[in-house]
Chain A
Amino acid sequence: DIQMTQSPSSLSASVGDRVTITCRASQGIRNDLGWYQQKPGKAPKRLIYAASSLQSGVPSRFSGSGSGTEFTLTISSLQPEDFATYYCLQHNSYRTFGQGTKVEIK
């Protein structure tokens, strides 16, 4: 089975900061990866699909990159509504979520 290692598990940042979250796959998954945002008590929401394509309606400050085994989610300028937990999800073989990254206010 494919394992997804996400880092960091949490981070503290200020409004306006640039934030980067990384996911590493245990084997190559091409670009079969999405990024999700989840706020407390709510269902997750997909931000990025196919590793780097922005989901419709998602602000352009979110971007994704990578292919194969290394993937990155970047928030170019953190906004108050972006404080949440973020997950990567691979769908190359079955499905596997990363462990999550909680983005907290500094």
Chain B
Amino acid sequence: EVQLVESGGGLVQPGGSLRLSCAASGFTFSSYEMNWVRQAPGKGLEWVSYISSNGFTIYYADSVKGRFTISRDNAKNSLYLQMNSLRAEDTAVYYCASMGRIDYWGQGILVTVSS
């Protein structure tokens, strides 16, 4: 059974940092590109970041460029999102998702940026 399980979310103050993790199982993680997608409360989906299967190609949305860093460890079947300089507008449910040749999504994890 394919599973993507996010962890590391929670409440953080503005200006703070948080690191999200996504543990993959049930498929050959190292063969597939991965993404982070977020959804603010009551809002639509927003693509955040992309990383290729080998980690060599990385993209970011303008809204997070310079503050967020995506990475992966194929030996550990894991995807990461380091989030620095967090703002109130980063408050959202964060999903890890493949969205490529295969389409798998995690259940999402809530990040709340508030004082």
Contacts and interface: CB of A to CB of B under 8 A. Distances in A.
B50 interface: yes
Interface residues of B, number: 19
B29 interface: no
A34 B46 CA distance: 15
Interface of B: 35, 37, 44-47, 50, 59, 61-62, 95, 97, 99-100, 103, 105-108
- Most A C-beta atoms less than 10 A away, residue of B59, B95, B103: B103
Interface stretch (A23-31, A62-70, A73-81, A93-101): A93-101
A43 B95 CA distance: 8
25 contacts: A1-B62, A34-B99, A34-B103, A36-B45, A38-B45, A43-B95, A43-B97, A43-B108, A44-B95, A46-B103, A55-B103, A85-B44, A91-B99, A91-B100, A94-B47, A94-B59, A95-B47, A95-B50, A95-B59, A95-B99, A97-B46, A97-B47, A98-B44, A100-B44, A100-B45
Contacts of A71: none
- List the 8 shortest-distance A-B pairs measured between CB atoms, nearest first: A43-B105, A95-B47, A46-B103, A100-B44, A97-B45, A94-B59, A99-B44, A87-B45
Contacts of B103: 34, 45-46, 49, 55
Contacts of A103: none
Contacts of B44: 85, 87, 97-100
A21 interface: no
Given A44-B95, A99-B44, 17 more contacts: A43-B97, A43-B107, A44-B37, A44-B45, A45-B103, A46-B99, A85-B44, A89-B45, A89-B99, A94-B59, A94-B61, A95-B47, A95-B99, A96-B47, A97-B45, A97-B47, A98-B44
A26 B5 CA distance: 34
Contacts of A1: 62
Contacts of B35: 95
Contacts of A91: 99-100
